[in-house]
C-alpha cells in the first residue's frame, strides 16, 4: 500500500497523527479487548455492541471517504479495492465484501478483535456475543462508500464469529433507508483549530529523538498476508481515535444520564483501560527486541522509564506527553497540550465541567507504577498475574487529573503521587 503511507501526517508540536486528515493512533490487542469489554460492562452487551458498531461505522466512513477523495477512487470497483486493502494494512485482518445498493455480505479472516480474543481468552472463557463490532462498522461503511450511499444507511450483523468458535466471521449487510444524522467531523483541520501552544518538559531532547525514531519505525509496519501486525510481542493495530473517543464518551454520557450513581465505577474502568494500555503496549514495547535495537534495553532507572513512556506515547500518536515535574519516588506531573481525547470531546460536546482524559489518567498512574515497581533488568514477564499484583487492591500510587482543556484549562495535567 505505497499509496497510503504518504498520506500520514503529524500535527507538529502535538504528536497527533492523521491519515488523509483522519486521526489515528496505535493500540495493541490487550487494550482493544479491554476497551470493548469496558463498554459492555458499562452499557450491557446489546447497547455496548450498538455503540461500538455506530462509532466504527462513523469513523471508518470518514476514513474511507477521505482516502477515496485523495486517491481519486471514484468508481465502485476502485472503492471496493481500496476498502479491501485498507483493513489488513491497518492490522485488522482481512475482509471480503460483496455489496449492492441494498446491502450484501462480508466474510472476515483474522479480524483483529475475534482473532485476538480467541488467542487471549479462547481456551478458558466461553463468549456469548460476537467480538467484531469494529469490523462490522467497517463493512457497513465500506458498503455505503462503494455503493455511493448516504452515511449511516447500512447496518451490519455479525452472524458468525471465530470468538464464538464458529469457523470464520460473517456479516450480513442491510440497508435501512434511514441515514444517520451526521456529527461534527473531528479531523486534522478541526484539531488544528482546537489545540494551543506546544510544551517542553524534562529530558525533552531524548524523548523527541526516540519518538521520531519510533514514528519512522511504525511507518514501515503493516499487516502481513493475514492482515495481522505482530510486533513488540503483541498484535498491534493502527486504529481510529474517533472510534475510541466516541465509544468512551457516549458510554460515559449514557451512564451520567441514566445511572449517575454508577458513574464513578464507569470512569474507573475507562481509566483502567489506560492502565492496561501502558502495562501491555508500552511494557511489551520496552521489553521487545525492536526497542532494544532502536533505544537500548531499559536500565531500571525510573526517570529513564518515564521518559521512554512519553516517547512511546508520542510515537504512537497519543499526543505530546511531557514530564513537567518529577520528584523521585514521590511525585510525577505529566502534561500534554492536548492528548488524542481532547479535540474529540471539544468538537463533539463542547466544554466539560470536569476533566475528561480517562486514558491519560490511567496511563500516568501506570507509568509511575511501572517505573518504580518493576525490575526491568530482570526481564519481567508481563502476565495477567503480575498485572493484578501491581494494580489490584491498594495501588502504591494515586493519580488525579488537575488540568484539562475540555474544562477550559491551557493543557492536560495529571499529578501522580506516592501514597
Partner 1 sequence: MSAVLPVLTRDHACVRGMNWRFDLPPAAIEAALDALPSAGFLPCPSPEALPSFQSPEGHRVLLVRRTGRAQIRVSYTVPEGQRRLAAEAVFTAVVRALRPAGLTAW
Q: Contact residues for partner 1 (CB under 8 A)?
A: 119, 216-217, 220, 226, 228, 230, 232-234, 284, 287-290, 292-294, 296-297, 379, 381-382
> How far is the C-alpha of 179 from the C-alpha of 356, rounded, in Å?
30
- The answer to whether residues 414 and 402 touch, using CB atoms and an 8 Å cutoff, is yes
Residue number with CB closer to partner 1 (173 or 295):
295
245 or 284: whose CB is closer to partner 1? Answer: 284
Tell me how far, at minimum, the Cβ of 186 lies from partner 1, in Å. Answer: 33
Instruction: Determine the Cα–Cα distance for residues 349 and 137; give it in Å rounded to an integer.
Output: 22
Q: Nearer Cβ to partner 1, position 280 or 406?
A: 280
Instruction: Check if the beta carbon of residue 131 is closer than 8 Å to that of residue 122.
Output: no
Task: Compute the least distance from the CB of residue 366 to partner 1, in Å.
Answer: 17
Q: Are 106 and 173 in contact (CB under 8 A)?
A: yes
Q: Closer CB to partner 1, residue 237 or residue 284?
A: 284
Tell me if 346 sits within 8 A of 194, measured CB to CB: yes
- We find the least distance from the C-beta atom of residue 31 to partner 1, in angstroms, to be 15
| Min dist. Cβ of residue 139 to partner 1 (A) | 24
State whether residue 402 is helix, strand or coil. strand
d(CA 24, CA 113): 17
Q: Which is nearer to partner 1, 351 or 377 (CB)?
A: 377
| Paired sense of beta strands 331-336 and 412-418, if any | antiparallel
- Is the torsion defined by CA of 46, 47, 49, 53 positive or negative? positive
Q: How far is the CB of 234 from partner 1 (least distance, A)?
A: 7
Identify which of residues 137 and 283 has a Cβ nearer to partner 1 in the complex.
Answer: 283
Query: Cell numbers at residue 143, please?
Result: 458498503
In the bound complex, what is the minimum distance in angstroms from residue 233's beta carbon to partner 1? 3
Q: Up-side HSE of residue 170: CA atoms within 13 Å toward CB?
A: 9
Give the nearer residue to partner 1 in terms of CB position, either 217 or 349: 217
Task: For cell 484549562, name the residue.
Answer: 409
Minimum Å gap between C-beta 205 and partner 1 is: 19
* Nearer of residues 38 and 284 to partner 1, judged by Cβ: 284
The total of other beta-carbon atoms located within 10 Å of residue 224's CB is 12
Least Cβ distance, residue 372 to partner 1 (angstroms): 20
- Residue nearer to partner 1 on the CB measure, 354 or 381: 381
Concatenated DSSP letters of 105-166: EEEEES-HHHHHHHHHHTTT---SS-S-HHHHHHHHHHHHHHHTPPTT-EEEEEEE-GGGT-
| Residue 117 near residue 133 (C-beta atoms within 8 A) | no
- Grid cell for residue 120: 487471549
Closest approach of Cβ 230 to partner 1, in Å? 7
Amino acid at each position: 500500500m505505497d499509496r497510503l503511507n504518504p498520506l500520514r501526517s503529524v500535527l507538529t508540536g502535538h504528536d497527533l497523527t492523521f491519515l488523509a486528515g483522519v486521526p489515528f493512533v496505535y493500540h495493541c490487542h490487550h487494550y482493544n479487548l479491554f476497551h470493548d469489554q469496558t463498554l459492555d460492562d458499562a452499557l450491557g452487551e446489546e447497547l455496548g455492541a450498538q455503540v461500538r458498531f455506530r462509532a466504527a461505522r462513523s469513523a471508518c466512513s470518514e476514513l474511507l471517504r477521505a482516502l477515496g477523495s485523495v486517491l481519486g477512487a471514484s468508481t465502485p470497483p476502485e472503492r471496493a479495492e481500496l476498502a479491501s486493502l485498507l483493513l489488513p494494512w491497518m492490522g485488522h485482518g482481512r475482509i471480503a465484501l460483496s455489496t449492492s445498493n441494498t446491502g450484501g455480505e462480508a466474510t472476515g479472516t483474522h479480524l483483529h478483535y475475534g482473532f485476538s480474543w480467541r488467542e487471549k481468552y479462547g481456551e478458558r472463557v466461553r463468549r456469548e456475543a460476537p467480538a467484531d463490532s469494529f469490523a462490522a462498522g467497517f463493512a457497513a461503511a465500506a458498503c455505503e462508500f462503494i455503493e455511493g450511499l448516504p452515511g449511516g444507511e447500512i447496518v451490519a450483523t455479525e452472524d458468525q464469529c471465530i470468538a464464538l468458535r464458529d469457523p470464520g466471521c460473517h456479516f450480513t449487510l442491510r440497508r435501512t433507508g434511514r441515514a444517520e444524522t451526521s456529527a461534527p467531523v473531528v479531523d486534522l483541520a478541526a484539531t488544528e483549530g482546537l489545540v494551543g501552544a506546544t510544551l517542553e518538559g524534562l529530558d525533552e531532547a531524548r524523548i523527541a529523538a526516540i519518538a521520531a525514531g519510533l514514528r519512522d519505525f511504525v511507518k514501515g509496519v503493516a499487516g502481513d498476508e493475514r492482515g495481522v501486525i505482530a510486533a513488540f510481542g503483541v498484535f498491534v493495530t493502527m486504529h481510529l481515535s474517533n472510534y475510541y473517543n466516541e465509544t468512551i464518551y457516549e458510554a460515559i454520557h449514557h451512564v451520567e444520564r441514566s445511572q449517575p450513581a454508577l458513574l464513578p465505577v464507569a470512569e474507573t474502568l475507562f481509566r483502567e483501560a489506560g492502565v492496561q494500555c501502558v502495562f501491555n503496549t508500552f511494557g511489551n514495547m520496552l521489553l521487545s527486541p525492536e526497542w532494544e535495537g532502536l533505544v537500548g534495553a531499559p536500565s531500571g532507572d525510573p526517570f529513564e522509564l518515564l521518559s521512554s513512556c512519553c516517547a512511546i506515547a508520542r510515537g504512537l500518536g497519543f499526543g505530546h506527553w511531557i514530564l513537567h515535574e518529577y520528584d523521585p519516588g514521590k511525585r510525577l506531573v505529566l502534561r500534554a497540550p492536548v492528548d488524542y481525547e481532547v479535540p474529540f470531546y471539544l468538537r463533539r460536546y463542547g466544554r466539560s465541567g470536569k476533566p475528561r482524559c480517562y486514558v491519560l489518567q490511567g496511563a500516568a498512574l501506570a507509568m509511575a507504577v511501572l517505573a518504580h515497581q518493576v525490575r526491568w533488568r530482570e526481564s519481567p514477564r508481563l502476565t495477567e498475574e503480575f498485572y493484578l499484583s501491581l494494580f489490584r487492591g491498594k495501588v502504591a500510587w494515586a493519580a488525579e487529573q488537575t488540568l484539562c482543556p475540555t474544562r477550559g484549562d491551557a493543557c492536560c495535567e495529571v499529578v501522580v503521587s506516592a501514597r
